[in-house]
């Protein structure tokens, strides 16, 4: 015999799952759209893009699991469609110097969400500090995996690969500041995000 409580609990579970799928799909689409804005710079020809910042935003807004899934869905779509910066597919990126960044996108989104969702939401100053930490750690992971990819594909030393990131630091910190501000505003407007 099914009780009203059981039905309500199952309904809430279905609703939560549907919302999670919607959030993941929306952020995967957002990451893809932001890939069409790219400025090629740097010794290795790696473009400045908004895509890397969008994967961090996914983690900050959705948390570790959903941020990871949104980034993973984006990369899955990228196997078939040219959604990466510069109009490339993930398969094309496998042969290039940017392969490490794709791994960094996934891990960075997960870690950003993991750290951000540890925030004491009632203390604004602490929340901002934790979101900054989450974003910086995620960005550092993108740089680390990006450097490892350049070492592998461009036969660079670790020092040279890290140095090649220099042109991206200030633009990426600027983008990161914007993403953190957006994430904090989203959580302030939709506190239910962190409970779902």
| 2 vs 139, more confident | 139
pLDDT reported for residue 196: 62
- The fraction of the chain above a pLDDT of 90, given in percent, is 65
Domain housing 110: 19-193
**Is residue 9 domain-resident?**
no
5 in a structural domain: no
Residue 59 lies in a domain: yes
Phi-psi region of 42 (alpha: psi -120 to 50; beta: other; left: phi over 0): left
Structure tokens at 190: 């939709």
Q: What is the pLDDT of residue 4?
A: 41
**Quick check: is 158 in a domain?**
yes
Q: Would you place residue 42 in the very low, low, confident or very high pLDDT band (cuts 50, 70, 90)?
A: low
In the chain, the number of structural domains is 1
Identify whether 88 is part of a domain. yes
Question: Which CATH number fits the domain that encloses residue 78?
Answer: 1.10.1760.20
Picking from 5-14, 69-78, 111-120, 168-177, which range would have the lowest pLDDT averaged per residue?
5-14
Report yes or no on 14 lying in a domain: no
Measured over the CA atoms of residue 78, residue 81, residue 86 and residue 88, the dihedral's sign is positive
pLDDT at 167: 80
The whole-number average pLDDT for the span 170-192 is 94
Confidence band, pLDDT 50/70/90 cuts, at residue 9: very low
Average pLDDT of 128-157? 95
């Amino acid at each position: 015999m099914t009780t009203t409580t059981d039905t309500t609990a199952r309904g809430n579970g279905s609703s939560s799952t549907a919302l999670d799928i919607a959030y993941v799909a929306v952020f995967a689409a957002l990451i893809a759209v932001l890939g069409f804005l790219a400025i090629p710079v740097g010794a290795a020809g790696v473009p400045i893009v908004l895509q890397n910042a969008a994967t961090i935003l996914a983690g900050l807004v959705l948390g570790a699991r959903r941020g990871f899934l949104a980034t993973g869905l984006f990369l899955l779509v990228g196997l078939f469609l040219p959604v990466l910066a510069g109009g490339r597919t993930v398969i094309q990126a496998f042969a290039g110097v940017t392969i490490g960044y794709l791994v960094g996108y996934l891990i960075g989104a997960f870690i950003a969400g993991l750290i951000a969702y540890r925030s004491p939401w009632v203390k604004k100053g602490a929340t901002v500090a934790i979101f900054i930490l989450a974003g910086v750690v995620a960005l550092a992971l993108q740089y680390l995996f990006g450097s490892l990819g350049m070492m592998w594909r461009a036969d660079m030393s670790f020092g040279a690969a890290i140095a090649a990131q220099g042109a991206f630091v200030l633009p990426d910190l600027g983008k990161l500041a914007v993403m953190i501000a957006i994430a904090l505003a989203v959580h302030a407007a939709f506190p239910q995000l962190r409970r779902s």
